[in-house]
Amino acid sequence: MQIEHGGALDRAISRFGGTREDWIDLSTGINPEAFPLPSIASDVWNRLPDESLLASALDAARSYYGVADEAAITAAPGTQALIQIMPDLVERGEVAIVGPTYQEHQSTFEQAGWKVTLCDSVDAIPQSAKVAVVVNPNNPDGRIVAKDALLHLAETLRMRGGFLIVDEAFADPHPQTSIAAHCGGDGLIVLKSFGKFFGLAGLRLGFALTSPDIATRLTRRMGPWAVSGPALVIAKHAFTDKGALRVFTDRLTHRRGLLSAVFTKTGLKEIGGTDLFALVEHERAHALFEALCTRHVLVRKFAYAPHWLRFGLPLDENDAETFRQRTLIALDTIRS
C-alpha cells in the first residue's frame, strides 16, 4: 500500500517551487521547537554506548513515563523500528486496527502476512482478532479511548495468546490518557515516540513499555547498540530536566493556541486533534491543500478522507500570522 506521510517538504518544493526558507511546514505532528540539548562528552561520540549509559536512560524514561517496577522498557531507533517487529512476536493471525489512524501499523502487518481488519471503535474488534492496535490519542483526529476499555481489551487478547499495541506517540502533552503505569503483563505493549513532543524526530528514538519477556525478545531482535550514545544522553537530559520541561510544555500550549486562533480568524472548522496538531474539515480540502502549497504552506491531506486536513504547529507568532495571511488568500482562490 502507498502511504502518505507528513514532512515531505523536498517533494513539495520540487513541485511548487521556492526554498525551504520560503515554506511554513505544518504537515507533521512534530513540535517545531527542539528541546535544548545538553553538552555531550567527546567519548560518547567515540565509543559504543555501554550498558550503564543505556540503563541510566531507561531509568529516566521509567520515571518520566510513570512505568511500574515490574514492567520492562526497550529502547529503539524510533518507534517505526518497533512497529516492524510487532507482527513477528506471535504466530500470524488476525490483527484489528482501530482507525482511521497512522497507516504504518496496517502496512507492516499486511506485509508480514497477517489478516488486517479495520475497525471504527474498540467495541467493533472481532473475537477472531489475536492482536489489536489503538493509537491513543489518535492520529489524525485526537480520539481518546478510555483506560478501562484498553486494559480490558489487553487482558482479552492475552487470553487469546496475543496482545494489545497502544501507540502513545502523541500522549506526552496528555499524560492523563497514558496507560504506561499499567504495563508489565504480556498482553500489553505501549509504544512511546521521543521525537514528536521533544521536537527531535531526527534523533530517531522510541520506547516499548511491556513485560520483561516481550522486552527481552524485542531487544534481541534489534541487536546490540540499537540506540546511539548521543541519543541516550539527550533522552536522559530531556526526561530529567523538570524546570526546562515545564517551560517547554508552556510554549507548546501557547503554540497550540496560536494555531486555533488562525482557524477562528480564517473560518476553518477544527474538528479534532491534540496539543501537537489539529484536524480541520473543509468541503474542498484537497483544493485548499493545493492552494496552500502554491503559497508555500505545507499541511497534511488524506486520500481516505477527502474533507480532512491536518495542521501542525506554527513555531511562533510570526509564522502564525504568515500562515493566517496565506490561508485567507488560498481560501479566496478556491472560492473564485
H-assigned helices in the chain: 9-16, 42-46, 51-65, 79-85, 104-111, 147-159, 195-198, 212-222, 229-240, 242-266, 285-294, 317-335
Q: Are 32 and 314 in contact (CB under 8 A)?
A: yes
Q: What is the pLDDT of residue 7?
A: 66
Task: For residue 259, give the 3-state DSSP assignment.
Answer: helix
Give how many domains the chain has, as a whole number.
Answer: 2
Residue 101 inside a domain? The answer is: yes
With CA atoms as reference, report the closest residue to 46 among 282, 233, 292. 233
In a shared domain, residues 158 and 253 = no
- pLDDT tens sequence for the chain (336 residues): 556 666 689 999 999 999 999 999 999 999 999 999 999 999 999 999 999 999 999 999 999 999 999 999 999 999 999 999 999 999 999 999 999 999 999 999 999 999 999 999 999 999 999 999 999 999 999 999 999 999 999 999 999 999 999 999 999 999 999 999 999 999 999 999 999 999 999 999 999 999 999 999 999 999 999 999 999 999 999 999 999 999 999 999 999 999 999 999 999 999 999 999 999 999 999 999 999 999 999 999 999 999 999 999 999 999 999 999 999 999 999 997
Domain that holds residue 266: 9-29+244-335
With CA atoms as reference, report the closest residue to 330 among 302, 311, 313. 311
Residue 2 inside a domain? The answer is: no
Q: What is the pLDDT of residue 5?
A: 66
Task: For residue 255, give the 3-state DSSP assignment.
Answer: helix
In a shared domain, residues 304 and 272 = yes
Residue 186 inside a domain? The answer is: yes
Q: What is the pLDDT of residue 2?
A: 54
Q: What is the pLDDT of residue 8?
A: 87
Domain boundary among 220, 240, 260: 240
Residue 149 inside a domain? The answer is: yes
In a shared domain, residues 13 and 71 = no
CATH classification at residue 184: 3.40.640.10
CATH classification at residue 260: 3.90.1150.10
